[in-house]
A and B are shown apart, each in its own frame.
Chain A
Amino acid sequence: MRDRPKAVTLAVAAALALAGCGDAGAGDTVRIGAIAGLTGNFITAEVVKTAQRVFDDANEAGGVNGKKIEFIVKDDAGNPQRTAQVARELQDAGVVAMAGSASFTDCDVNDAFYRQSGISSVMAVAASPKCFQSPNIAPVNVGPFTLMTAVLLHASQKLGAKAVCNFTVVLPGSEDAVKGALERWEQLSGQRLKVNDMTVQQSGDLTPYLLKAKQAGCDAILFNPAEQLVVPWLQAAKTQGMTDVDFLLLAPAYTDSVAKAVGSLGLNVYAGSEFEPFTSDSLANKGWRDAVTRADAQATAFSQGGYLAAKFMVEVLKTVRGEINRDTVNAALRDMTPIEDPMLGSPFVFGPGESHAPNQASKIVRLTGLRWVVVDDTFITVPD
């Protein structure tokens, strides 16, 4: 018993010493962290590679406040335990903020930790509802929920769809967000969904769902999953002869491999993009294309997120006067002036809110031959 105060003192001293070390290490550089899947089922390495290029460019141009930016990337391999662990490692490393994260478990696992430790995150790719509901996280991408509303608006406004149907695979925890997105469309369009099936399973044949759509006379069908289900979905639709229906997909299906796999089926397929469509050679994409090429990374929509998140973080860091630490960066993010970017349809801002979803705009691409082509060169912005 008598030894205990001594032990506590020792522990506190050790902790102080460690904290001191961290501070000393962070003194000469500005440390920015990111979590991504460099290994595992879902690889997002190109996101952080592109972000690294942006930070390197900023450093070559003199850094921020005379200091170099040190970008620390941690791999979580898509494993939630690792996601939690690496966030703590980044905190111990003394990061002043997070930028360019592309981990699908980050928000669900680390939101509370970011709040406690006062770390702000400008995410590159966010997919979970939690990413759009935290005071500490602001994603640069539209995200699957707002995108649902945007794509449905395209169907009801531009394609003149009268019988819009929805088939959704609901991931655990996102049911309310999906419902919210669908209701938002119903309010904006004044239409109601003809069929709304939120029980689509990832296993087994998808034909029964298409038969249901066919019987209900749907003229536009929204389907949310990623590539590996989209390919059999469209193949089955082709088999059932649904060539006069508009198929609406979300950003995860907007990839080159989907275009190659199902482009020859001759169906009407549309997808919503997260940013300026990555397959477009437009002027808006010039800066990103240059960065992603020099980073020797794959030019995907996700890498656009990495580019933008890093770019916005650099701009915000430049506005910090005096010492750059967690508090001053948080204040700068809170008070930042919205940044317009040609790759986005609505300006990026972090701001003081309890939740952040700055990106509310998407461009629609259409499958033409074996390529995705931009349908309409204006962003569809979802009104509040």
Chain B
Amino acid sequence: MLQLSAAIAGLATGGAYALMGLSTLLTYRLVAVVNFAQAAVGAFGAFAMVVLHEQGLPLVLAVPAGLAFAAVLHMGLGVVMVRWFSEAGEGVKAAVTIAVYTGLVAVGLRLFGAQHPHRFPSPFDAPAATVGGVVVTWTAVVTMVLAVLFAVLPTVLLKHTRIGLLLRALSERPTTAELIGVRVPRLSMVVWGVAGAAGALAIMIVAPQLASDFGSQALLITPALAAALVGGFRSFAWTFAGGVALGVLQGLASTVTALQQYRGVLPFLVILAVLLWTRRGDRWDSVA
């Protein structure tokens, strides 16, 4: 019974992980960068929102302002990527984002303080239903719905629209796309902006239920990458499933005495297991 309750409680966190994983996947699919700084950029947007809200700005204005802030910040990262690293390999690009992550965390801790928590507004905090002894809030429902939207919309967009075709061309062959007349820099800036805002939205929603300091939220990138890896950095549907499963697993693990102290490392275990499974066909001595 406790297991069931914990698993249901884990669904809410799982939805959040899925949301973060999907926005990371969005960046990867559209501009071919494994972005370790995705959650940190999102946290910047979320904290900007909180600070503005604390200054008296109503939530309906503070949220778009926070999203815009994250979008601009992410575009800044995009400019660096497009200008200096557009021909570099994925490894190099990922390394650049790790450096950016470290920098953003240092600046974020300075600006928003690690000591005293900001109170994240949670407008959907009212209980929605009681399932299996757990009170499920509207936040959990909204998170889940958003995660499903994040999973479905990009798939439809990429597969069935002209802009989706251009975006695929942009991510797979940027130079060729530019040669045939796609306005690559402008299009990729839009993509960077949207992905940044999406990450910020994810953080804004999950922030009230997790440790409310900047560092912890920037670290949400670990479960996000685990979720994206379950989707093979390709499938939006599997990334969604991976994120939700990870949340449920963490909930379950905290009820098993032998496992509870390892709850924090579960994302890494998932990453390891997925890598071992997807690489099971590879042979150590084979020539690449």
Chain A residues with a Cβ under 8 A of chain B: 41-43, 197, 199, 201-209, 211-212, 214-215, 226-232, 235-236, 239-241, 255, 257-258, 260-261
Contacts and interface: CB of A to CB of B under 8 A. Distances in A.
Given A205-B210, A231-B212, A211 B133 contact: yes
B210 A204 contact: yes
Given A203-B219, A205-B13, A211-B133, A229 B211 contact: yes
Interface stretch (B91-99, B112-120, B159-167): B112-120
Contact of A228 (B122, B209, B213, B251): B213
A209 B254 contact: yes
Interface size grouping (class) on chain B: 35 or more
The winner among A229, A231, A236 for most chain B CB atoms within 10 A is A231
A214 B116 CA distance: 28
B245 interface: no
A205 B266 CA distance: 13
A231 B216 contact: no
Given A228-B114, A228-B216, 10 more contacts: A41-B215, A201-B263, A204-B250, A205-B247, A206-B209, A207-B12, A211-B5, A232-B209, A232-B212, A239-B125
Contacts of A231: 117, 119, 212
A212 B125 contact: no
A239 B135 CA distance: 7
B231 interface: no
Contact of B261 (A41, A199, A226): A199
Interface string B1-26: 11001100110110000000000000
Contacts of B260: 197, 199
A232 B210 contact: yes
B117 A201 contact: no
A212 B9 CA distance: 12
B64 interface: no
25 contacts: A199-B261, A199-B263, A202-B216, A203-B216, A207-B209, A207-B251, A208-B5, A208-B9, A211-B2, A211-B6, A212-B255, A215-B2, A215-B5, A228-B117, A230-B117, A232-B209, A232-B210, A235-B122, A235-B125, A235-B209, A236-B209, A239-B135, A255-B116, A257-B116, A261-B119
Contacts of A214: 133
A212 B215 CA distance: 27
B148 interface: no
Nearest to A206: B209
The winner among A208, A212, A257, A261 for most chain B CB atoms within 10 A is A208
Given A215-B2, A240-B135, A207 B9 contact: yes
Contacts of B216: 202-203, 228
Given A205-B10, A212-B2, A260-B119, A228 B254 contact: no
Contacts of B255: 208, 212
A205 B122 contact: no
Interface string B111-138: 0001111010010010100000111010
Interface in B14-40: none
A197 B263 CA distance: 13
B109 interface: yes
Contacts of A215: 1-2, 5, 133
B113 to A, nearest CB: 8
B221 to A, nearest CB: 12
B264 A239 contact: no
A261 B250 CA distance: 27
Contacts of B10: 205, 208
Contacts of A206: 209
Contacts of B211: 202-203, 228-229, 232
B39 to A, nearest CB: 12
A70 B127 CA distance: 59
A204 B13 contact: yes
B208 interface: yes
B131 to A, nearest CB: 12
Nearest to B137: A239
B218 to A, nearest CB: 12
Interface string B84-109: 00000000000000000000000001
Nearest to A207: B9
Contacts of B122: 235
Given A199-B260, A207-B9, A235 B208 contact: yes
Contacts of B1: 215
Interface in B175-225: 208-213, 215-216, 219
Contacts of A211: 2, 5-6, 9, 133-134
A230 B119 CA distance: 11
A235 B124 CA distance: 13
A310 to B, nearest CB: 22
Contacts of B250: 204-205
Contact of B264 (A202, A209, A212, A228): A202
Contacts of A208: 5-6, 9-10, 251, 254-255
B117 A261 contact: yes
Contacts of A260: 119
Contacts of A203: 210-211, 216, 219, 263-264
